[in-house]
Structure 1
Amino acid sequence: MTGASRRSLLLGAAGAGLALPGLARAQAQYRPEYKLSVVGNRPIPFAEGAFQWAELVTQRSGGRINVKVYPGSQLVGGDQTRELVAMRQGVIDFSVFSTINIAPQVREVGLFQLPFLMPNHKALDALIGGEVGRDIFGVMERREVVPLAWGENGFREISNSKRAIRTPADLRGMKIRFAAGAIFSDIYNTLGANPVQMSFADLQPALSTGAVDGQENPINLFLAFRMDTLAQKHLTVWNYVNDPLIFCLSRSVWNSFTDADKQLVRECAEEAGRNQIALTRRGLGLDGGDDSSMQELRRRGVEVTVLTAQEKAEFARATRPVYEKWSQTVGAELVRKAEAAIRAATA
C-alpha cells in the first residue's frame, strides 16, 4: 500500500466513524511513568490509600497507566503544603491531598478545620458524601485538578508530655505543634497554648528533645510513629477537626486518557478511598465495635482521656470566635450548608 493510499484509508475510516486496529492506541500517547505524591509512607492509612490507588490503576490497566508512588512528599522536598502547586506546575501527576495542607490555596476546604464543627464520623460522612462534598470538588476542578474520591486521615486528637487535657485551662502555656494553616495558630492561641508550626519530619526530634510539649494527629499516626516513646504520655480524644483526603490528578493528565481509562482511574480511586477510610477508623471502638487501637494506647502506658459531650462543648465555646472568623474565609453559605447537613445526619 502506498503512503497516499494509507492516508486515504485512515481519513476514510475516521470520516465513517470506524476504528482501525491500533488507531485508538496511537491517539493515546501515555507516559512510561506517572508520579503520585503522598505524605508519609506505608503502613499508615494515609499513604496506604495512595499506594493502593497506584497499584490498582497499574494492574487493571495492564501497565498501560504505570503509576509510581513517591512517599514522604519527596517530589516537593518534604513540604507537603506545596503538593497542589507542584501538580499545577506539572511536577506531580497524581496525589492524595490532605485538606489541611491545601487549605492555604483552596479556602473552601478549610471548612473541615473549623473547630468542633463535626462531632463524629456521621457528621463527616454527611459532608463528604453529600452536596458539600460535591461543591468542594467543583472548587477543586477550577484549580486545574480533577478530584475523584474522598479519603480520610482521621479526627485529630491532642497529646502532650505534661498532663491530661480535659478543659481549655489545661492547655495554657503548652507548646503545641501543628502542621499548617493559620487557623490552627488561632485555635491554640485562643486556648492559651503556644502554637508551633513545623513539618512532620521535624516533629519527632522536636518531641524527643522537648522543643515542643505536644502535637495533634490522628490516633493511627500516633501509634504508627510510636509517639508514646517521644514523651507523649497523655492523649485526649476531642475530635476537634478532621482531615479528609482528596484523590486527585492533574487536568492535563486526565485529558490525555481515553474515556475508558478515565473511568478505570476513577473507579480505582473510589475503591482505594473506601479502603483507606476503613483503615483509618479501624480499632477506634466506633459504635461499640473493634477498639484495638484504644487498647493498644493503654497497653503502651498512654493515659487516654475521652471528653464527654459537655467537655467538648466547653472547648467549642472557647474557640467560637475562631470558628466565626474563619467561616467568613471558608464561605458563609458553604458553612451554613455544612451545618444543616450535620444537623440532619446527627439528629
Structure 2
Amino acid sequence: MQKSLVAIALAATFTAAAPSYAQQKYQPEYRLSTVLGTAFPWGKGGERWAELVKEKTQGRINIKMYPGTSLVAGDQTREFTAIRQGVIDMAVGSSINWSPQVKELNLFSMPFLLPDYRALDALTQGKTGQDLFKVLEKNGVVPLAWGENGYREISNSKREIRSPADMKGMKFRVVGSPLFNDTFTALGANPTQMSWADAQPALASGAVDGQENPISVFTGAKIAAVGQKYLTIWGYVADPLIFVVNKKVWDGWNKADQDAVREAALQAGKEETSMARKGLTAADGSAYKEVEASGVKVTRLSAAEIAPFKEMTRPVYDKWAKTIGPALVKQAETDIAARK
C-alpha cells in the first residue's frame, strides 16, 4: 500500500513538472505574413524566424511564410488589421504599413528625424521602442523584436536630385500613408500612392517618374531596369520592421514556447538588420557600387545640401508631431540627442 502511494506521488510530481505541451491546442501550421520575399533582407528575416522557431520548439510550432502580403491580397495597409482579426497569425511588418491603424508608428516617417543608424537604434532599442511596443500591445498584438527595411532613398528617371527644386512637378510613387503625401507635396513634387505590385509597371510605363525605397529593395527588385537612372541618398526616413504574433495565438502557447518564439524573433531581427545594412556603411559601401554598376548615377547629399529639404518639410514635421503625440516625439528627440 505504501509503495503504491509513493508511486502515485512520484507520478503526480512528474506530471506537474513536465511541460504542458499535450494540454496546448497548437495549430498544424501558423501563417507568417511579409511584404517582400527571400530575395530581400525582409523576407530572409521572416524565413529565418520560422527556421529558428521550429528548431527552438523541437517542431511543435511550424510556420509557413506568405510573402507579398498575399493573405490580404497584396494590400499592405490591411495587414495589421488582419493580424488582429486572426486572418494572419504572425508577421514581420513595416512601421509604415501599420501606421494607418497605429498612428504612433508614423514617428519613423517624420521627415529627417533620423540622421543615422545610431539614431534609429537609439529609438528601437531605447525607451521610445519600449513605449511603442506598449502601444502595439494595446492594439491587440504581441510585439517581440525589431528588424529593418532601411533608409528610404529617392530615385527617378528624369534628372539628378540635389535640391528641392529638382523635384518640382515630378510624379513619385509613395506608400499608403498620408504623411508621405504631405512630405512630397511640401517639396513641390506630385506624390501618388500605390501598392508595390502596381509601382513597378507604373515606373516602366512612365506613369510615375520616381519612387523611394531602401537600397536593398532598389537592387533586389532591379528598379534600375524600369528606367530609374538617378538615385539620391538623402536618408529622409527609415523603416524599421516589427516581429509580432496575434494575441490569441500567443496565448495558446505554453510559457516555454512563448520564450522560444521571442528568442527566435530577437535573433532573427538582429540577423535581418545586419543584412539590411550590408554594404551601406562608411566601412563598406559595396551596395552603392552595385547600384552604380547597373548604370545608375548615385548622388550623396551633404548635410548642407539636406538642410533645404529639412527646412521645407518642417511644417509637415510639426503637424504630424501633434498627430503622433507630442510626448512620444519629444521622447524620440531625447533618445536621439543622447545617442552614443
**Corresponding residue for residue 318 of structure 1:** 312
Q: Distance in 1 between matches of 2:199 and 2:247?
A: 33
Which AA in structure 2 matches 1:184? F
Which AA in structure 1 matches 2:66? Y
**Corresponding residue for residue 133 of structure 1:** 129
| Identity rate, percent | 52
Which AA in structure 1 matches 2:32? L
The answer to whether the 8 A contact 1:13-1:20 is kept is no
Ranges in structure 2 where 5+ consecutive residues have no aligned partner: 1-7
Q: 2:300 aligns with which of 302, 306, 316?
A: 306
The 3-state SS of whatever aligns with 2:276 is helix
Q: Distance in 2 between matches of 1:22 and 1:341?
A: 44
Deviation (angstroms), 1:59:
2.3
Deviation (angstroms), 1:333:
0.6
**Corresponding residue for residue 212 of structure 1:** 208
The answer to whether the 8 A contact 2:92-2:241 is kept is yes
Q: Deviations over 1:190-219 (max 9, x none)?
A: 111110000000111000000000000000
Q: 1:197 aligns with which of 176, 193, 196?
A: 193
- 1:120-269 pair list within 5 angstroms: 120-269=116-265
Q: Distance in 2 between matches of 1:251 and 1:21?
A: 26
Which AA in structure 2 matches 1:320? R
Which AA in structure 1 matches 2:89? D
**Corresponding residue for residue 331 of structure 1:** 325
Deviation (angstroms), 1:80:
1.2
Greater shift after overlay, 148-157 or 55-64? 55-64
Deviation (angstroms), 1:18:
5.5
Structure 1 position 65 matched with structure 2 position 56: no
The answer to whether the 8 A contact 1:36-1:92 is kept is yes
Ranges in structure 1 where 5+ consecutive residues have no aligned partner: 1-8
Equivalences, count:
333
Deviation (angstroms), 1:40:
1.5
Deviation (angstroms), 1:179:
1.4
Q: 2:336 aligns with which of 335, 342, 346?
A: 342
Task: State the TM-score, normalized to the length of structure 2.
Answer: 0.95
Q: Distance in 2 between matches of 1:21 and 1:281?
A: 44
Task: State the TM-score, normalized to the length of structure 1.
Answer: 0.93
Which AA in structure 2 matches 1:52? R
Following TM superposition, the consecutive aligned residue runs of length 4 or more in structure 1 with deviations greater than 4 angstroms are 20-23
Deviation (angstroms), 1:17:
6.5
Deviation (angstroms), 1:290:
1.6
